[in-house]
């Protein structure tokens, strides 16, 4: 069984390492006076015993600090938490010093007699040091929290940048644009109204992507409207070989998700699977209860002839949810079907 020591900050045991020997030397010099430095046996034995005891005291204080941080985590509870920490630390320190003094008295080699005056001064000195260390460790903890927050923000920013690139890739890809413009050219010669509709839906796709590229969350209603335009865009290329159905509860339409989420999932589905009239790719989007959205598609994998990371978009999406709202995205594959469940986010006003 592995014992895990408490950690209030990432610097706890570095601080313990640097303060233990100097503090014990100060305490021992108060206890033994000049004998501590002039008699090497006293110096060695008292230093070893004192350092071991100091480390135990520090670890016990660490347990208390971590427990109080869990019990009183809110910002408005900081004063109460620090006050309780200082009081408990001081009591533990008094207990540590009393035990240390009495232990020294029991060791014949040290030839020591308990001194109330030295005990009181040691308690006062270490009490002041405890106050200093408490505020120091709280400052380190706040720095660690700030640094972690900055790193998470940077990761989230990278995730969104990558998401925009992945979302835009299929639209600005020359091959994709060529096929879309080729479809538009055919529509212009065959059906002017259909060509106008195609251009209108195409503009909606780009407008949505440009308007929401910097937003962290959009409503499901807005995302579904975008998907309608995006689906129209794809149908011009794939025809009836691509089939999309939706079944959404009205209450879910006001809940939120990251922009271009559904676009990433749909694009991943048709890039990974064969799409033909004889074997259409079917994608279904539905409410799954308890603030969940489920997207299913049948699996009919392509024969891969080149190395491509088809899962990059989904990996990015999972990472985005983790960074943004700490909620999991569930992906389940069977032989015939893939199911992706997304948490719907209730945006606080």
Do 136 and 177 reside in the same domain of the chain?
no
Model confidence at 141: pLDDT above 90: no
The predicted structure's pLDDT at residue 319: 74
Residue 104 lies in a domain: yes
Q: 223 is in which domain, residue-wise?
A: 173-343
Q: Is the pLDDT of residue 307 over 80?
A: no
Residues 339 and 232 in one domain: yes
Q: Which two tokens stand for residue 300?
A: 């009919």
Percent of the chain beyond pLDDT 90?
A: 12
The token duo for 310 is 């088809």
Q: Is the pLDDT of residue 12 over 80?
A: no
Question: How sure is the predictor about 1, in pLDDT bands with cuts at 50, 70 and 90?
Answer: very low
Do the domain assignments include residue 165?
A: no
- pLDDT tops 90 at residue 51: no
Is residue 284's pLDDT more than 90?
Answer: yes
Task: Give yes or no: residues 100 and 49 share one domain.
Answer: yes
Distance CA 243, CA 270 (A): 11
- Average model confidence (pLDDT) for the chain? 79
* Least confident piece of the model among 203-207, 238-242, 280-284: 203-207
Q: What is the mean pLDDT of residues 15-27?
A: 80
pLDDT (average), residues 45-57: 85
**141 near 119, Cβ under 8 Å?**
no
Between 95 and 140, where is the model more confident?
A: 95
Look at residue 172 in the predicted model and tell me its pLDDT.
45
Give the C-alpha separation, 100 to 16, whole Å: 18
- For residue 287, the SS3 value is strand
The pLDDT tens digits of the residues spanning 143-168 come to 877 877 777 777 666 665 655 555 54
Question: Is 155 contained in some domain?
Answer: no
Residue 235 belongs to a domain: yes
Same domain? 140 vs 184? no
pLDDT per position as a tens digit, 57-71: 888 888 888 888 888
The answer to whether residue 4 scores a pLDDT higher than 80 is: no
Among candidate residues 99, 129, 144, the one where a domain is terminated = 144
Q: What domain count does the chain have?
A: 2
Contacts of 240 (CB under 8 A, 6+ apart): 277, 280
Give the separation between CA 314 and CA 163, rounded to whole angstroms: 10
- Does one domain contain both 207 and 334? yes
Contact assessment for residue 257 and residue 342, using Cβ atoms and an 8 Å cutoff: yes
pLDDT at position 349, please?
A: 59
In a domain, 137, yes or no: yes
Residue 33 lies in a domain: yes
Report, as an integer, the average pLDDT of 235-257: 88
pLDDT of residue 108: 82
């Amino acid at each position: 069984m592995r014992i895990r020591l408490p950690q209030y900050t990432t610097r706890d045991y570095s601080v313990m390492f640097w303060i233990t020997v100097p503090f014990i030397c100060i305490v021992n010099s108060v206890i033994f006076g000049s004998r501590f430095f002039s008699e090497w046996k006293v110096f060695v034995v008292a230093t070893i015993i004192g350092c071991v005891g100091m480390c135990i005291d520090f670890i016990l204080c660490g347990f208390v600090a971590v427990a109080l941080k869990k019990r009183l985590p809110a910002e408005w509870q900081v004063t109460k938490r620090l006050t309780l920490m200082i009081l408990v630390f001081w009591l533990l320190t008094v207990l540590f010093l009393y035990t240390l003094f009495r232990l020294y008295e029991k060791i014949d080699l040290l030839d020591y007699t308990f001194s109330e005056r030295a005990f009181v001064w040691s308690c006062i000195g270490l009490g002041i040091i405890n106050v200093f260390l408490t505020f120091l460790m709280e400052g380190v903890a706040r720095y660690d929290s700030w640094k972690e927050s900055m790193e998470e923000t940077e990761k989230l920013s990278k995730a969104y940048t990558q998401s925009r690139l992945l979302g835009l890739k299929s639209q600005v890809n020359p091959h994709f644009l060529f096929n879309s413009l080729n479809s538009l050219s055919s529509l212009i010669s065959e059906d002017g109204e259909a060509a106008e509709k195609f251009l209108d839906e195409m503009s909606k796709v780009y407008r949505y992507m440009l308007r929401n590229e910097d937003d962290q969350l959009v409503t499901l209603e807005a995302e579904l409207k975008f998907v309608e335009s995006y689906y129209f865009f794809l149908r011009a290329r794939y025809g009836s070989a691509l089939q999309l159905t939706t079944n959404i509860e009205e209450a879910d339409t006001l809940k939120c998700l990251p922009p271009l989420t559904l676009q990433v999932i749909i694009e991943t589905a048709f890039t990974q699977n064969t799409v033909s009239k004889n074997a259409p790719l079917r994608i279904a989007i539905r409410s799954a209860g308890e603030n969940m959205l489920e997207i299913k598609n049948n699996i009919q994998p392509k024969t891969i002839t080149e190395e491509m990371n088809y899962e990059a978009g989904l990996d990015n999406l999972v990472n985005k949810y983790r960074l943004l709202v700490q909620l999991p995205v569930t992906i389940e594959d069977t032989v015939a079907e893939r199911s992706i469940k997304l948490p719907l986010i209730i945006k606080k006003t």
